[in-house]
A and B are shown apart, each in its own frame.
Chain A
Amino acid sequence: MLYREAGQFKTTYADDQALLPIAQDRIGLFIILAIAFVALPLFASEFFLSSIMIPFLVFSLAAIGLNILMGYAGQLSLGTGAFMGVGAYACYKLTTLYPDMSIIVVLLLSGVFSAAIGVVFGLPSLRIKGLYLAITTLAAQFFLEWCFIRIGWLYNYNDSGAIEVPTRTILGLAVTGPQATPLTRYMFILCVVTIMTLIAANVLRGRIGRSWMMIRDMDIAAELMGIKPLNAKLSAFAFSSYYCGVAGALMVFFWLGSAEVEAFDINHSFLILFMVIIGGMGSLTGCFMGAAFIWVLPVILRAIPSAFDLNLLAATMEHISSIVIGVLIIFFLIVEPHGLARLWQIGKEKLRTWPFPYAT
């Protein structure tokens, strides 16, 4: 009733090809952005920003990276954690080698390193498909983890073996390091994620994104339409790893503050993978939904008993939230195997035709 495109006539192809052709979607997005950019900075607590919103945005960006590769280009990968690590270590090396370089430039450059490594480990995809490819990307995961431990140069031969984030400023305002407030870090990440999401959406609806989807859906036919599998697959690996790399750098520099190799292990890869699967493969909205489901929901669940003055052991609470999350994952995957984004889309379709469900 509220959500329908009746009366919204398009007279040009440009209008029809807009990112959000339906006015209600545009209003919805505007409200979400207004909450994120205005309401949260004004009213949210530091705890909420630093342990819910910042990780949520970082994971969303990493999920977008993996989703581009898996959901749009159809190439499975289990090396997300390692690619994020490459971004983080590259960012650390660059900013310690060139302390005067702007942190924004460093951040954008660190993704380039990750993209290059991604292309190298994407080479097997030219011969291997599906689950077997996932196994070869495990090689990336283990090899890169080994590098992070064994190559001392990467962490400047710290005794701890960890990378400690130095303070970096933009226009005199500390954005990383201990002096940076959660609010500035949140605003910085929010800007990066918003811009990068928009860029991803644009690339995915153009020729390049279409060539990835062609390879995903029917690689033989794609080749007959003039797509070179080499270019399409490797560009997908590069683009995806770039996003993962930037997400990794953001994770260490704007969220954790310091990180060891454990931050980029295989569990981390699985976490991002689950976000993509739960959220919905081949959907950018799904990445945010998946990240919210896997990261934000447990935090909220753990906060519920204390809100009702129930004193439960932290460990008990941990177990209960694991159980609830597990049950919810099974429930959602049974209801809609294509993820939360598809569920959301079906809901919108139903709304469009309500109260005449037989109309199409």
Chain B
Amino acid sequence: MSATSETVATQASTNGTSVLLSVDNVTLTFGGVKAISDISFNINKGEIRAIIGPNGAGKTSMLNVINGFYHPQKGQISYKGKTRRRMKPYQAASSGIARTFQNVALFSGMSTLDNIMSGRSLKMKRGLFWQALHVGPARQEEIEHRAYVEKIIDFLEIAHIRKQPVGKLPYGLQKRVELGRAMAMEPELLLLDEPMAGMNLEEKEDMSRFVLDLNSEFGTTIALIEHDMGVVMDLADRVVVLDYGQKIADGTPAEVQSNQNVIDAYLGVAS
């Protein structure tokens, strides 16, 4: 572990919280384009951490780095005290990182129930033999996981669309099913990429409620990208602001709001 992440960890422990994930000096380039340059920040256990910034700031790239889609050229990511340079997405999944996508990425041919059940894939162990017979252990396993999935369905209030194919659902519900699918993985860290994009006020309120309840009832740590500033300021414990791949501010919502760099990034600077 590098010196920087150790200092970050000690800082956090003095505040009475522990760092779940820390990003240290990460740089990501695509050819000549620098998507992320030298960014460091951390996510504490149990908090709601927002990542904001204008379009093209590198927010989604940041999430992709965290769950192993992109491998940064420089820097490292420590999750639960372990540092790894290159990681596959399925390794991130098995270590407890789940996410939702900016454009809904549901399994459109499957029902709501199957979509959420698919989140349980890693927790199901029975092999081909028992599955082929569908008796005994495999059947038992399927029923146990169904019970957990039903809890999520109740939590998200989507019982009425349980058996419907998700491809035909309205957008707001699809976003909700996607959240349910991520919840089914029982993640420690949940990455939400614009969970409220394109929603009306009521849907945003519902989704905010789910995010807050998820954080407090299930104790899930949440990293959230969002453009609706009202939502971000109300939900987030801490906010990190990116612009053109660089970190320009980091702190509580109130601090960030009054930061001159942030105001300049969003509103522009008079020349």
Contact = CB atoms under 8 A, between A and B. Distances in A.
Chain A complexes with chain B: yes
Interface of A: 12-14, 16-17, 199, 202-203, 205-208, 210-211, 213-214, 216-218, 220-228, 282
A218 B106 contact: yes
A225 B185 contact: yes
A44 B252 CA distance: 80
A46 B22 CA distance: 74
Given A203-B128, A224-B67, A14 B89 contact: no
Given A13-B146, A206-B142, A210-B114, A218 B131 contact: no
B142 A217 contact: no
Contact of A210 (B92, B105, B121): B121
B131 A224 contact: no
A17 B117 CA distance: 12
Contacts of A227: 90, 121
Contacts of A221: 101, 105-107
Nearest to A360: B164
B90 A206 contact: no
Interface of B: 67, 69, 88-90, 92-94, 98-99, 101, 105-110, 114, 117-119, 121-122, 124, 126, 128, 131-134, 138-139, 142-143, 146-147, 150, 181, 185
Given A14-B139, A224-B89, A218 B107 contact: yes
A206 B134 contact: yes
Contacts of A224: 67, 89-90, 92-93, 98-99
Contacts of B119: 225
Contact of A14 (B117, B143, B150): B143
Contact of A202 (B101, B122, B134, B185): B134
Name, among B88, B98, B109, B139, the residue most crowded by chain A CB atoms within 10 Å (CB to CB). B109
A223 B131 CA distance: 22
Contacts, number: 97
A83 B147 CA distance: 40
Given A202-B133, A207-B121, A225-B118, A213 B106 contact: no
B88 to A, nearest CB: 8
Given A220-B89, A223-B89, A224-B98, 5 more contacts: A202-B133, A214-B110, A216-B109, A221-B105, A224-B99
Given A208-B131, A227-B90, A217 B143 contact: no
Nearest to A228: B90
A211 B88 CA distance: 17
A20 to B, nearest CB: 13
Name, among B107, B108, B126, the residue most crowded by chain A CB atoms within 10 Å (CB to CB). B107
Contact of B121 (A16, A205, A225): A225
A205 B126 CA distance: 13
A217 B132 CA distance: 23
Name, among A199, A226, A282, the residue most crowded by chain B CB atoms within 10 Å (CB to CB). A226
Query: What 9 pairs between A and B have smallest CB-CB spacing?
Result: A226-B93, A217-B107, A202-B134, A226-B122, A206-B131, A221-B105, A223-B89, A207-B124, A13-B146
A238 to B, nearest CB: 10
A13 B147 contact: yes
14 contacts: A16-B146, A203-B132, A206-B142, A207-B131, A210-B114, A211-B121, A213-B107, A218-B106, A221-B105, A221-B106, A223-B90, A225-B121, A226-B94, A227-B90
Contacts of B110: 210, 213-214, 217
